[in-house]
Structure 1
Amino acid sequence: MFSDVYFPRVNGVSTSIRTFAQALVRMGHAVTLVAPDYGADSGQEQHDDGSFEIIRLPARVIFFDPEDRLIKGAALAGITRRLAVRDWDVIHVHTPFRAHQLGVRLGRLTGVPVVETYHTYFEEYVGHYLPWLPTGLARWGARRASRYLCHGVDHLIVPSAQMEQVLDRYGIRTPCTVIPTGIDLAEFAGGEGARFRDTHGIDHDVPTLVTVSRLSREKNIGFLIRVVGRLVPEFPTLQFLIAGEGPDATRLRQLVAALRLQDNVRFFGNLDRRTSLLDAYRAGDVFVFASPTETQGLVLIEAMAVGTPIVSTAVMGTATVLRDARSARVSEEDETAFSGHVASLLRAPEARAALAQAGPIDASAWSTEVLMRRVVDLYASLARPFPALA
């Protein structure tokens, strides 16, 4: 596997890659991930836990996106030679930058098939990261780059049917299979909401909303903060817990101050997925989400797994996750409508309990153990047979 992002960089792609790799290892397969080196002080060593091989390559900070790294060009030739002498069945690329370059180069050199996952709806993201470009030009560039990159690999994996439709609209003709990443349900069996509330001084009877997200404009967290502003008159002690970090944090804090919601909105940064994040999920009476750009929306599945009732918009990948879900209420992206759904749940503990009970059942359809069998079947269908021994 090749990726331009991995832990300690926290985002959905990093989570997806780790989920893929650990599931493959549990199924008896061998995995090597090639990813950027984030530096000695980044804490990356705690994420390289030895469950699968990780090769870190020298990388530099990207000036307009300091959270991310760009693998240095000088590292490409050496790693390609090192990997070319090893036996691979499949090369799986997860991001479109140096990782794509490396994966395609190794595939051509070895004859091994190259699969690429289209994780990110770049047409919707590019304007946030390159704001100086005219919107139309940025979107055109994202579509053109997507066609070029996708036509350079043998097969594509997309997390949702909606994303497959986008690629079809782009004119991409590379064979494509829809396989969501899913989650390891065992990771979400724990957590104590009461512990999180006690730790952070939140009374047990205080109505609480929670969201888990990277703090960036495309995640639409500002919309959720404005929704909270509409709820506070009826629920003056309401607490909105935001778990995550990102470049939009300063603007969001300013929005909270402008709406005078400092007593109602709390930022917690990135939480440990094995402990405090589970506690935060369970501390919420309602999980809220409104991102319009998700190719899947793993946090919705995580909220289902822990049994937190959901109110969310349903756009792109989140529409797939929420279709037929009995643990969620779907709202349009309208502050009045969204706040109405949340308020009705906060007033009705029986309704919340019914949604909570349905959550783990909904989440079971997204189990990694089920979905990764489909990935392995795809790998097997693509893998070239080794030459017969003389």
Structure 2
Amino acid sequence: MTVEESKPTTKPAKKPLRVLHITFNMGIGGTEQVIRQLVQGMANESVESEILCIDGHIGPIGEALQQSGVLVHKLARKQGFDWALIKAIRKRLREGRFDVVHCHQYTPWMYGWLAALPTRAKVVFTEHGRFYPDRYRYKAMLINPIMALFTPSIVAISEATKDALVKYEFIPRHKIQVIYNGIAPLVRDKEEAQKVRDSLGIPKDAFVVGTVSRLDPVKNQAMMLRAFKQFSEKEPGSYLLMVGDGPDKAKLVSLAEEYGISERVIFTGFINNPVHYLAAMDVFLLSSHTEGTSMTLLEAMSLEMPAVATRVGGNPEIIEDNVTGILVEPDMAYPFAECIEQLLQKSILRQSMGQAARLSFDKRFSANAMVYQYSKIYGDPDSAPYSLHGSTDEIENG
């Protein structure tokens, strides 16, 4: 045997998969959190990710990713239809030699799809939620079926979102698959949660309900305030903790004063990492007119916290009614208040719902499960190296 014949054969290193995420910006929100989970979750799995923001600014989540070494680009989309934006995205796709362009929300899909047409990049489109009220756009009837035909993968974050894409965007149902949002579970620190209560002047044994959300009309926190007013008339020692900021803040502060509950409704403003504020609550509240997959609802579930939420959008797909939380018809303040009271009075029920919520979270809404499903879309699942820090069987079985 010659020396050459005895040399071991080695396989060439596999070329990393290159993915460009296109989004409006990387501010604070559910879409941005999903992108962050995908970028970070695939960082060790032979995937190189970059992000392109088309609204002219990056935002705090994007800036944090930049500091960790992720390339985040920005372009300034002009009013009207911006042909120059298509050219700029196409230039980035070619320079970066991307294999996949993952478009988040409709407008990034339209621009990303047009930009990718003469390139080698595979287009993936994820619809993260719908406006309220939803509406028909008749231009979509002509354009969207064509875009869908030449988009290999279209994803909705809930069955409700999928139904909306079929009804309002004229996308064939068979083209759409559902992948629920996933997050890394939060860790409860009881001492830090108590420090939050102390800093806000909330007594140690007080019953606290609350939300972590953008203060926006679509979230319908005005109904939440009405419900808390009714609830607190029976339970005057309770508190409502509203974590977040947004265009409705001044209106909501005024309503709390009008209802005579301002001393027990606490508006914290925007909190960059609200985990300890969330952990300071006993019950999570979600009063939205519409939802896709609420990331803060998932965070509450990961902390073994039951929720009272409106029966809209993806909420019924996340919450098993009277098992992991309670669902109420939208904009119904009195039933909403009654459900809060029920969870106050029945501490054993509250505890069992919280435990069931965490079990459901682990099985269906973990970041690993979401990242694995997207990895199958990005590349060939039979040859993809995505272990995601656990075996495929472990991920698929819960």
Do they fold alike, i.e. is TM over 0.5? yes
Aligned to 1:93: 103
**2:47 is aligned with 1:29:** yes
Q: Tell me by how many angstroms 1:327 deviates.
A: 2.8
1:242 aligns with 2:238: no
Match of 1:172 in 2: 171
Matched, 1:114 2:110: no
Q: Who wins on radius of gyration, i.e. which is larger?
A: 2
Partner of residue 24, structure 2: 5
* Cα displacement string for residues 97-128 of structure 1 (whole angstroms, at most 9, x for unaligned residues): 2x334411332121322111111213x257xx
Distance 1:353 1:209 in 2: 15
Q: Secondary structure at the match of 1:247?
A: coil
Within 5 A, what are the aligned runs for 1:355-370?
Answer: 355-365=353-363, 366-370=365-369
The AA in structure 2 aligned to 1:259 is: Y
1:75 Cα deviation (Å)?
Answer: 5.3
Corresponding letter in the other structure for 2:136: W
SS in 1 for 2:356: helix
Unmatched segments (≥5 aa) in structure 2 = 1-19, 382-398
Secondary structure of 1:30's aligned partner: strand
Tell me how far apart the structure 2 counterparts of residues 147 and 293 of structure 1 sit (CA, whole Å).
26
Structure 2 residue aligned with 1:55? 73
* 1:129 equivalent in structure 2: none
Mean CA deviation greater in 188-197 or 291-300: 188-197
- 2:371 paired residue number: 372
Instruction: Check conservation: 2:85, 2:111, Cα contact below 8 A.
Output: no
Instruction: Give the CA deviation at 1:144.
Output: 4.4
String of CA shifts for 1:42-74, please: whole Å, max 9, x gaps: 7963452335321122467x9xxxxxxx99865
Label 1:71 to 1:144 Cα distance change in 2 as closer, same or farther (>3 A). closer
For residue 229 of structure 1, report the CA deviation from its aligned partner.
0.7
Aligned 8 A contact 1:286 1:308 in 2: yes
- 1:243–1:270 Cα contact (<8 Å) kept: yes
Give the direction of change, closer, same or farther, for the CA distance of 1:146–1:319 in structure 2 (3 Å limit): farther
The farther-off stretch of 73-82 and 313-322 is 73-82
- 1:268 maps to what in 2? 268
**How far apart in 2 are the matches of 1:86 and 1:46?**
22
Change (3 A) 1:109 1:158: same
Q: What is the distance in 2 between the residues matched to 1:20 and 1:325?
A: 32
Aligned CA RMSD, in angstroms, stands at 2.9
**Aligned ranges for residues 206-285 of structure 1 at < 5 Å?**
206-273=206-273, 277-285=274-282
Q: Tell me the alpha carbon deviations over residues 190-218 of structure 1, each in whole angstroms, 9 at most, x when there is no partner.
A: 56321210121111111111101111111
Equivalent of 1:155 in 129, 153, 156:
153
CA contact (8 A) 1:57 1:71 kept: no
- Between stretches 280-289 and 307-316, larger displacement belongs to 307-316
User: 1:237 is matched by which residue type in structure 2?
Assistant: G
What secondary structure does 2:341 align onto?
Answer: helix
SS of the equivalent of 2:116 reads: helix
Q: Which amino acid aligns with 1:169?
A: K
1:184 and 1:255 mapped to 2: Cα distance? 35
Q: Counterparts of 2:317 and 2:264 in 1: how far apart (Å)?
A: 31
| Structure 1: distance between partners of 2:226 and 2:286 | 13
**Which segment is superposed worse, 22-31 or 300-309?**
22-31
Residue 286 (structure 1) shift: 0.9
State the partner residue of 2:394: none
Can you give the 5+ residue segments of structure 1 that lack an aligned partner in the other structure? 63-69, 127-138, 383-390
- Per-residue CA deviations over 1:318-344 (Å, capped at 9, x if unaligned) read 111113673312223322211111112
Query: 1:219 touches 1:292 (CA, 8 Å); kept in 2?
Result: yes
Residues 327, 159 of structure 1: CA spacing in aligned structure 2 closer, same or farther, 3 A cutoff?
same
What is the Cα deviation at residue 28 of structure 1? 3.4
Amino acid at match of 1:328: G
- 1:340-359 alignment runs, 5 A limit: 340-359=338-357
Aligned residue-pair number: 355
Tell me, yes or no, if the aligned pair for 1:80 and 1:102 is still in contact at 8 Å: no
Q: 1:82 aligns with which of 89, 92, 97?
A: 92
Distance 2:139 2:317 in 1: 26
Query: Amino acid of the residue matched to residue 307 of structure 1?
Result: E
The alignment partner of 1:148 has SS state of: helix
Residues 325 and 362, structure 1, Cα contact 8 Å, conserved in 2: no
- Residues 126-178 of structure 1, C-alpha deviations (whole Å, 9 max, x = no match): 7xxxxxxxxxxxx233x644873464233210011122122222431271111
d(CA) in 2 for partners of 1:113, 1:367: 26
Alignment partners' CA distance in 2, 1:326 and 1:28: 40
